[in-house]
Amino acid sequence: MIKLVQTLLSSISVGSLYALIALGYTMVYGTLKFINFAHASIFMLGAWFSAIIAAALLANGVTGIPAIVLSILIVMVICTTLGFVIERLAYRPLRDAPRLNVLITAIGVALLIENVAALNDVKIPGTQTTIHGFGTQPGKMPELLANADLFSIPLGSGTVVVDKVDALILGLSICLMIVLEFIIYNTRLGAAMRAASHDARTAALMGIPVDRTISITFIIGTSLAAAAGFLYVMKYPSINPPVAVTWGLLGLKAFVAAVVGGIGNVRGAVVGGLLIGILEQAGAAYLSPHFRDVYVFALLIFVLLVRPTGIFGSTAVEKV
């Protein structure tokens, strides 16, 4: 019983991380109709920047809740700015190009980010400027929250422990998702985003600046990946080097979450993320921890066989 509740708790925590990343994939797919392979790289940058900023804050005597709030805000601003630049330079010029071109560009962007991030200090010839990369060694997220238990509930013969970090992950993810839900379903911008994602040409006929709307959608997705990066290193403080395959694998699993939920569907991404979290954690707890990735991809195969549009995906019906 305790094991069940504890597994469920960690499932929700891990699941909301997947959901945050999956939202970015699904939003970009919804408007730009391509899979942004560089999304996992943004997540990786979010994780690394979090560690650097948190360390800098701690060194300046900022601790506790202010440090958490500040780091997450700064990380989101940095990654969002990067997302804006990427969209502007790499994807926007390809608006009318075949989707395959954009897909390949996304892979290129991912490789570029990874490899620049993996640089050590590089002097730019002829100047005093040095680029500091994250290098090829693992990093460490300083402890912002003393990794204590938030509370423990006695249950039967033992106790269920709720970790502060898990509570933070859950709380922040829910907040971000509520904000996103509000933007998409209750604002003029959200209506424009949904319109542009359904039919960009008709959206333009409504006077919607489609290019700008798409850019905004893109950078919202990016900011969520940054937040996920922060929460991830809060939970798992040893950070893999930028070129490690773990980032790609995490991104891929979040992408599976988006597909399982129905790619292009925002609510689907959240449900898919949670589902993946539960499957992975329950599989690791009850079957074998060695196959945690296998469960996820088995679910993908199952969904693609049974319901290829995903849980919330629908095949569009055209009326004449």
Partner 1 sequence: MALLEIRNLNVHYGAIHALQGINVTVEQGKIVTLLGANGAGKSTTLRAISGLLRQVKGDILYQGRSLFGRPPHDIVRDGIAQVPEGRGIFPDLSVLENLNLGAYIRSDKKGIEEDRERALTLFPRIRERLQQKAGTLSGGEQQMLATARALLARPKLLLLDEPSLGLAPQIVLTIFRIIREINETGTTILLVEQNAHMALQAAHYAYVLECGRITMHDDAKALAESDAVKKAYLGG
Q: What letter represents residue 48's amino acid? A: W
Q: Which residues contact 136 (CB under 8 A, 6 or more apart)?
A: 118, 120, 241, 242, 243
Please tell me whether residue 124 binds partner 1 under the rule CB under 8 A: no
How many CB atoms within 10 Å of residue 264? 24
Shortest distance in whole angstroms from residue 74 CB to partner 1: 33
State which H helix or E strand residue 123 sits in.
strand 122-123
The closest of 265, 273, 262, 266 to 311, measured between CA atoms, is 262
User: Does 208 participate in binding partner 1 (rule CB under 8 A)?
Assistant: yes
Which member of 93, 209, 289, 308 binds partner 1 (CB under 8 A)? 209
Is 317 one of the binding residues for partner 1 (CB under 8 A)?
yes
Longest C-alpha distance within the chain, in Å? 69
Instruction: Map residues 51-90 to x or -, x wherever contact with partner 1 holds by CB under 8 A.
Output: ----------------------------------------
Phi, psi of 33, rounded to the nearest 5 degrees = 60, 40
Q: How, if at all, do strands 149-155 and 158-163 pair?
A: antiparallel
Q: How far is the CB of 210 from partner 1 (least distance, A)?
A: 7
Q: Should residue 195 be labelled a site residue for partner 1 when binding is judged by CB under 8 A?
A: yes
Q: Does 202 bind partner 1 (CB under 8 A)?
A: yes
Q: Determine if 95 is a binding residue for partner 1 (CB under 8 A).
A: no
Applying CB under 8 A, does 180 fall inside the site for partner 1?
A: no
Closest-CA residue to 24 (of 299, 254, 304): 254
Q: How far is the CB of 183 from partner 1 (least distance, A)?
A: 14
| Of the candidate residues 1, 122, 174, 205, the single one contacting partner 1 (CB under 8 A) | 205
Cα end-to-end distance, the chain, whole Å: 55
Which of residues 208 and 226 has its CB atom nearest to partner 1 in the complex?
208
- x/- letters, 138..177, toward partner 1 (CB under 8 A): ----------------------------------------
Based on the shown chain and the rule CB under 8 A, indicate whether residue 187 belongs to the binding site for partner 1: no
**Cβ–Cβ under 8 Å, residues 276 and 282:** no
216 binds partner 1 (CB under 8 A): no
CA 165/CA 149 separation, integer angstroms: 8
The residue ranges that bind partner 1 (CB under 8 A) are 188, 191-192, 194-195, 198-199, 201-211, 316-317, 319-320
